[in-house]
Amino acid sequence: MKKFKAGIIGTGYIGPAHIEALRRLGNVEVVAIAEATKEIAKKKARELGVPKSYGTYKELINDEEIDVVHNCTPNHLHYEINCAIIDAGKHVVSEKPLATTVAESADLVRRVRSKGVVHAVNFNYRYYPLVQHAAMMARNNECGRIFAVQGCYMQDWLLYDTDWNWRLEPQFAGKSRAMADIGSHWFDMIQFVLGQRIKRVFADLLTVHEYRKKPVKQVETFAGKTLNASECIPVKIDTEDYGQILIEFANGTKGMVCVSQVSAGRKNHIVFELNGTEKSVWWDQERPNELMLGLRNELNRHMLKDSILLHKEIADYAHYPAGHNEGYPSCVKNFCRNVYRYIDDPSGGVDFSTFDDGHNAVAVIEAIMQSAQTGKWISVEA
Ligand code: SOE
């Protein structure tokens, strides 16, 4: 197994998750991080145990010992930094959304093709063992013909008007919020499981808080609950807190999803259900080691993650024995494993979410925004 050196740009919420996942692989050394200033970078590098720190992303990209660069910055920097990584001829692992407009994400797809670098987007929920198992079931027609899917992605960390994060500001997050931030995960996961692209969407979006109270100091993702709201300014909110979407897939399968960042009690509730002519299947990220099989004439089955019971092609997504729970950090690890395995030896084919998938998700979001504005079904132009 070849050894690789990685650099991480951005160490807010998700950068440290990439670092932990890479360290668990065994053949990847995280040699540098970059942050907005040299001081922040130094402090974060110390905390994360990373040898080198840079105060600009360009310095990290120009570091000759780095083979792969992970772009873990806020959304508005994804396009610019991804371009710089690709132009330097380095392999690129980007956070989602790939870009904030479809023109930019299409340009990134063109650039990776012309430079021939390996490109990946962290749609991590695909990489749970039982999501992979459900995808195998769908591909082998084990549910019969799947005619409909439903699901949701709900969180509550932006429930109150005092909750604040950079994602609420379109200049950092783009013109879609809940859909781009978390809906994009659901769209990627369901398209992966079904093996079908979304053809068109009909969207109804809601902004619950017309104004929110912005704290004067910066707040990390999920950290808003600990805020003292005394030093806040009112800010008008133009992006969606909540949305419900009707979907039609390329093969005619029907879909329906609800996405929310303001549903009290829902922490990271990403769920899908497949309805086939013989069986249903459902899965919930908050109980990721369980898959439910819905049957008509027999008792329903409750499958627990166990590499012996998983489809053998994907059994290696489980790393611990049955009953030993695996969760969010392990799906990020599986994503990174697949990407670096391909960089090492592409003969096994691409088994991870690429810039093509990232571009598709941006196009789905753009169609959703257009549908919400026009009140019409909109085709996804990816
Ligand atoms: C915040 O909504 C967030 O951190 C998303 O940005 C991530 O993509 C999701 O995995 C968890 O929630």
Which pLDDT does position 286 carry in this prediction? 97
The Cα angle at residue 294 between residues 293 and 297, in degrees rounded to 5 = 125
Does the C-beta of 260 come closer than 6 Å to ligand 1?
A: no
Q: How far is CA 310 from the centre of its chain?
A: 24
| Residue 24 near residue 39 (C-beta atoms within 8 A) | no
- For the cut 70, the answer to whether the pLDDT of residue 224 exceeds it is no
Pocket test for ligand 1, best of 13, 75, 176 (most atoms within 8 A of CB): 13
- For the cut 90, the answer to whether the pLDDT of residue 216 exceeds it is no
Cβ neighbour number for residue 195 with a 10 Å cutoff = 13
Does the C-beta of 221 come closer than 6 Å to ligand 1?
A: yes
Which pLDDT does position 217 carry in this prediction? 76
Pocket test for ligand 1, best of 182, 260, 263 (most atoms within 8 A of CB): 182
pLDDT in tens, 21-36: 999 999 999 999 999 9
Mean pLDDT of 305-332: 97
> 339: closest CA among 90, 115, 162, 63?
90
- Centre of ligand 1 to C-alpha 182, Å, is 6
**Four-CA torsion 93, 98, 99, 104, nearest 10 degrees:** 90
| Residue 294 near residue 281 (C-beta atoms within 8 A) | yes
Mean pLDDT of 217-244: 82
User: In the 8-state DSSP scheme, what is residue 323?
Assistant: T
Does the C-beta of 268 come closer than 6 Å to ligand 1?
A: yes
Q: What percent of the chain has pLDDT over 90?
A: 95
- For the cut 80, the answer to whether the pLDDT of residue 220 exceeds it is no
- Centre of ligand 1 to C-alpha 298, Å, is 37
Which pLDDT does position 172 carry in this prediction? 96
Domains in the chain: boundaries:
4-124, 128-374
- For the cut 90, the answer to whether the pLDDT of residue 283 exceeds it is yes
Q: Report the nearest-CA residue for atom 9 of ligand 1.
A: 182
- Centre of ligand 1 to C-alpha 155, Å, is 9
Higher pLDDT, 228 or 146: 146
Which pLDDT does position 227 carry in this prediction? 64
Mean pLDDT of 263-290: 98
**How far apart (Å, rounded) are the C-alpha atoms in residues 52 and 41?**
9
The dihedral through the CA atoms of 258, 260, 265, 271 has a sign that is: positive
Q: What percent of the chain has pLDDT over 70?
A: 98
Fold of the domain spanning 4-124: Rossmann fold (3.40.50)
First-to-last C-alpha distance (Å) of the chain: 36
Which pLDDT does position 245 carry in this prediction? 98
Mean pLDDT of 112-137: 98
Which pLDDT does position 228 carry in this prediction? 65
pLDDT band at residue 229 using 50, 70 and 90 as cut-offs: low
- For the cut 80, the answer to whether the pLDDT of residue 222 exceeds it is no
**How far apart (Å, rounded) are the C-alpha atoms in residues 73 and 88?**
18
- For the cut 90, the answer to whether the pLDDT of residue 265 exceeds it is yes
- For the cut 70, the answer to whether the pLDDT of residue 230 exceeds it is no
Architecture of the structural domain at 128-374: 2-Layer Sandwich (3.30)
Which pLDDT does position 382 carry in this prediction? 82
**Average per-residue pLDDT for the chain:** 96
